[in-house]
């Protein structure tokens, strides 16, 4: 990660005025230096706030959609002492017919519809299939987050890092 330049306005003012205009013969700061420093001092806090924002944005921009890296970033920003945020993954495998328009290998029916099968017995659908061309295998990323943390701020960070098309859920504990 590249380091940003930090600005110390007091030091910059001293370098601009040099020692001749900054310090009196008695070794105290000159009135000119104190006056200019009083005018410039409010800029220091604004730059510190900007620098904090800039470093945070760089960390988020450099984060990849990887479980370990994302966990570290979320814990760094939102739970740096206890590190209670963790990420898990679940995989769903959906049963579906492999070929469109062919004789189905699975029992297909509409929701709530009863179909008679061999021996004229009536059964309800044991499972439902997705539409043709739907997701065959789906991975869902689960963010486990303490309920005391700011969920909207965490979701904002996740949305900046996530890859489109990957589903995630946030569970609080």
Question: What would the pLDDT profile of 65-103 be if each residue is shown by its tens digit?
Answer: 888 888 889 998 898 888 888 888 876 665 555 566 666
Higher-confidence position of 17 and 115: 17
Nearest 5°: phi and psi at 18?
A: 65, 170
Looking at per-residue pLDDT, the higher value among 110 and 160 belongs to: 160
Residue identified by tokens 């806090």 is: 45
Say yes or no to pLDDT of 116 above 80: no
CB 55 within 8 A of CB 4: yes
Q: What angle do CA 122, 125, 129 make, to 5 degrees?
A: 150
Please give the pLDDT value at position 119.
46
**Residues 6+ positions from 135 with CB-CB distance below 8 Å:** 94
More confident residue, 143 or 128: 143
Query: What is the predicted pLDDT for the residue at 166?
Result: 77
19: left (phi over 0), alpha (psi -120 to 50) or beta: alpha
- Give the CA distances from residue 144 to residues 23, 70, 85, 89, 155, in Å, rounded to whole numbers and listed in that order: 57, 12, 6, 11, 12
Query: Which of 41-45, 92-96, 144-148, 163-167 has the least mean pLDDT?
Result: 92-96
Strands (E) located in the chain? 86-93, 115-117, 121-123, 137-145, 167-172
């Amino acid at each position: 990660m590249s380091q940003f330049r930090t600005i110390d306005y007091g030091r910059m003012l001293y370098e601009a005025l040099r020692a001749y205009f900054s310090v009196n013969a008695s070794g105290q700061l000159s009135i000119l230096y104190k006056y200019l420093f009083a005018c410039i001092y409010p800029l220091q806090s604004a730059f510190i706030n900007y620098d904090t924002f800039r470093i945070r944005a760089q960390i988020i921009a450099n984060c990849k959609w990887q479980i370990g890296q994302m966990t570290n970033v979320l814990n760094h920003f939102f739970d740096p002492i206890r590190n209670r945020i963790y990420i898990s993954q679940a995989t769903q495998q959906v049963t579906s017919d492999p070929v469109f328009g062919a004789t189905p290998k699975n029992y297909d029916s509409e929701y709530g519809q009863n179909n008679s099968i061999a021996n004229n017995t009536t059964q309800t659908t044991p499972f439902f299939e997705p539409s043709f061309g739907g997701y065959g295998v789906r991975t869902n990323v689960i963010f486990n987050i303490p309920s005391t943390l700011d969920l909207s701020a965490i979701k904002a960070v996740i949305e900046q890092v996530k890859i489109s098309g990957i589903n995630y859920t946030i569970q609080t504990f």
